[in-house]
Each structure stands twice: as C-alpha cells, then as structure tokens.
Amino acid sequence: MQHGTRTKPPAPRASLPRQVLDDIRHGNLRREVGRDLTELYGFFLDDEQQQRAATMSRPKRWFMVPWWALKSLLRRLAAPRRVLLVLALIFAVLGETRIESPDGSFSVGGDLQPLAILLLLVILMLELKDKLVARDEIEVARQVQLALLPRRQPVLAGWDIWLYTRPANDVGGDLVDFLELPERRLALALGDVSGKGMGAALLMAKLQATLRALVPLDAALADLGSHVNRILCRDSVENRYATLLYAELRSDSGNVRLLNAGHLLPLVVRAGAHERLAPMAMPLGMFREAVFVEQVVALGGDDMIVLCSDGLSEAQDPSGQFFGEARLVALTPSLRGMAAAAAGALLLQEIERFLAGARPSDDLSLAIVRRLP
C-alpha cells in the first residue's frame, strides 16, 4: 500500500455572494448603476441644463455637469447641512496643511481629510435619517391607499371584467374602482391624477370619495362630471387636475354608458375591427364651467373595450422610446375572443417585454370590459 504525505488543506478564499457574481456576469450591476446615474442626472439637472449639456464637447460636459449637480445639491440641502458640506469640500481640497505665524510663535496643522470624511458621513447620516422617517410615513400612506383599492374583481351577469393598477412609486395617482348599483348595474372608474407621489395619491383619494358620494345621486353622467369638476376646482391645489373614465354597465344590455373627462381614449375591439372613441371633455379640476358629455357604446358578444392610463402608452424602454398607441393597436388581433383577464395579462406581458428591465416612469392602470356571448 502506498502512503502519501498528508498536506494541509488550502485556506478558503473569500468570495462574493453568488447573486452578486451573477449580477456582474449578466451585466445587471452595471445596468442598475447606469439607471441610478441616469436618475440622478434627471433629478439634479433641469431641462435647460440637460439641453445645454447635450450640445457641449465631452471635456466641457464632464466639468459642467458635476458643477451643476453640486449647485443643485447645495440648494436642496438645509442651511446647516449646506455649511457642513462646504466645510467638508474645503477640508478635502486643503488635505494636509500647516499654518504658522510669521514670528514662529505658534503653528496649526495636520491632515484635514479625515475631518472632511467625518463631515460627509454626518451629512449622509442626517439625510438617511430624514429618508427613513419619510419612508415610514409613505409606507403608512401606501397601506391606506391599498385599503381603498378594490379587494376583488367586479362581477356582473353578462360581462367579463378585469381591473389592474400598478403605481410607479410606493404610492400612486391612478384611480381604479368599481361600485355596485341598484337594478343590476355596475359603475367602473379609471382616473389619473397629474403628477406622482404623495400629492397625487391624496387627490386620487379625494376623487374616489367624491365619486362614491355622487354616483348614486346623478342619473345623468354629464351632471356627474359637472358636479365632480366643480368640487375639484373648489378644493384642488394649483396645477393639479385629474382625468377620468367612468363607465356604467347593465347586466341586461350590451350598451356601455361612458363619461370621458380628458382621459386616454378607450379602445373598442370588435370582430375584425377596432375603434378609438372620440374625446369628449376637459380634465376635472381645470375649468369650473367645463361641459361634459355622455357617450353610449354598444358592444356585441365577445366585443371588448380597453380602458387604460397613459402609463401604458407612455411607458419608456431603456433607450427612452415610448410604447405608443401603435403598439397597443397592433395587439388588437390577439385580444379578440380572449377572456378579460387573459387580455390584461397579454398587455402586461408586452409592456414588461418592452420595458426590458427599465423602471416604470408612470403609474399603470387597466380595465378590460368584455361582453359575454
């Protein structure tokens, strides 16, 4: 029997987590960093600065963009933190320095860079603290908003209905809701508040509450639009408005009563054809005396109407191109004869394929309404 000498096993080498290695290997990490840098560029530079940067030579752009971003950062910081940041930058530039009196009676000196790092760390901790506090408040708002959304899909005899909404951020400004009415009727609402974030979410909640209060009272949809508009004009903040698609269905009829207040045009999909319904009114909350009009669309068996927010048509891929109406219309042959949920899933699948990993730039909401044969 041959005996070999026992060798000491090699010490284990430190390695990155497998997920990190996979991200690097597939370019995910580089894509995420690039996406974050693009968002910083859009956040700290205004439109005019971005246009000027696009016309500059590369060396000038590499100098001017950080300078503009730094000025924007200083403007956004609270005054005490602004002073700390300026001191940190001064200490970082001075580095190791020494100051002596002319007669040599005293001298002050040392490496100022550790102090610069300490000041930057303090600023970062303060900003992170503010963000975490705001994050907690936003999480509460998100839970409240989720509680306001429908907990189930609407059900009405003779109809196949599917609703969906996805906010671009933690809270969104899209409204998706339904209300069961007497005489075997069902009301659907799809709205889009201008802007994003907390302000849009609050106005969305007000729009939802207003609709729920007024829908049982107004038989004519034109009157409903006028009443909601006057309330939003009275109570809304400046430069905030909302678009709305309101649809009313009956179980014993294929007619859909529609109120369109400045919203993206509904797409009607029929056997061998499709059509866009004409726009009928201005958005809510813009003009107090705006006039609203009720539309009626007759759907036959297997006919479908697609209601969506502009988060679908204005979805942007990594290169900045929009999904657009043409891509939506090109999908209409595939939608014909599909169940509402299947048609919605197909649209979402196409949107995700188009985004190719890019973050959604706007809230996305859909309502698919199909008349059963």
Q: Indicate the domain borders of the chain.
A: 20-97+111-131, 153-371
pLDDT digits (tens, 9 = 90+) for 225-234: 999 999 999 8
* Whether pLDDT at 37 is above 80: no
Q: Round to whole Å and give the CA distance between 73 and 285.
A: 34
Please state which of the ranges 10-19, 128-137, 262-271, 324-333 shows the lowest mean pLDDT. 10-19
Percent of the chain clearing pLDDT 90 (strictly above): 29
State mean pLDDT over 344-351.
92
State mean pLDDT over 123-144.
75
Please state which of the ranges 266-280, 301-315, 331-345 shows the lowest mean pLDDT. 266-280
**Bigger pLDDT: 26 or 280?**
280
* Whether pLDDT at 148 is above 60: yes
| Cross-strand bridge partners of residue 190 | 176, 245
Q: Reply yes or no on domain 153-371 having CATH 2.40.50.140.
A: no
**Bigger pLDDT: 103 or 198?**
198
Q: Which amino acid is at 344?
A: G
State mean pLDDT over 161-168.
89
pLDDT band (50, 70, 90) for residue 14? very low
* Whether pLDDT at 141 is above 70: no
pLDDT digits (tens, 9 = 90+) for 38-77: 777 787 888 888 888 888 888 888 888 888 888 888 888 8
pLDDT at 29: 64
* Number of C-beta neighbours around residue 93 at 10 A: 11
Q: Round to whole Å and give the CA distance between 99 and 291.
A: 75
- Tokens at 189, concatenated: 């609402």
10 Å CB burial of residue 310 (0-12, 13-18, 19+) is middle
The listed range with the strongest mean pLDDT (55-64, 98-107, 150-159) is 150-159
pLDDT band (50, 70, 90) for residue 318? confident
pLDDT band (50, 70, 90) for residue 215? very high
State mean pLDDT over 185-193.
92
DSSP letter string, 302-356? T-EEEEE-HHHHT-B-TTS-B-HHHHHHHTHHHHTT--HHHHHHHHHHHHHHHHT
pLDDT at 1: 37
User: Residue 276: enclosing H or E segment and its boundaries?
Assistant: strand 273-276
CA angle 80, 83, 84 (to 5 degrees): 90
Q: Name the residue among 86, 70, 75 with its Cα closest to residue 123.
A: 86
User: Residue 111: enclosing H or E segment and its boundaries?
Assistant: strand 107-111
State mean pLDDT over 15-42.
61
Please state which of the ranges 317-321, 336-340, 343-347 shows the lowest mean pLDDT. 317-321
Report phi then psi at 335, rounded to 5: -80, -25
